[in-house]
Amino acid sequence: MRIVLVGPPGAGKGTQAQFIATHLSIPKISTGDIFRANVSGGTELGLLAKQYMDKGDLVPDEVTIAMVRDRLAEEDARKGFLLDGFPRTVPQAETLKEMLAEWGDKLDLVLELIVDEDEVVRRLSGRRTCAQCGRVSHVVFESGGSGKTVDVCGYCGGQLFQRDDDKEETVRHRLEVYTEQTAPLVSFYANEGILVGIDATGPVEEITERAMAELRPFTK
Question: For ligand AMP, which residue of 5, 59, 124, 200 counts as binding (CB under 6 A)?
Answer: 59
Q: Are 120 and 175 in contact (CB under 8 A)?
A: yes
Establish whether 127 is a catalytic residue. Answer: yes
DSSP 41-60: HT-HHHHHHHHHHTTTPPPP
35 makes contact with ligand AMP (CB under 6 A): yes
Q: Output phi, psi for 132, to 5 deg.
A: -95, -55
The answer to whether residue 185 forms part of the interface with ligand ADP (CB under 6 A) is no
Cβ proximity to ligand AMP, 86 vs 195, nearer residue: 86
**Would strands 2-6 and 195-199 be described as parallel, antiparallel, or unpaired?**
unpaired
**Is 88 a known active-site residue?**
yes
| Active-site residue flag, 210 | no
Quote the CA–CA distance of 2 and 105 in Å, as a whole number.
9
Region 154-213 residues binding ligand AMP, contact defined as CB under 6 A: 165, 174
| Helices H / strands E in the chain, number of each | 9, 8
**Is 87 a binder of ligand ADP (CB under 6 A)?**
no
List active site positions: 13, 88, 127, 163, 174
Q: Which residues of the chain form contacts with ligand ADP (CB under 6 A)?
A: 7, 9-15, 123, 126-127, 136-138, 141, 204, 207
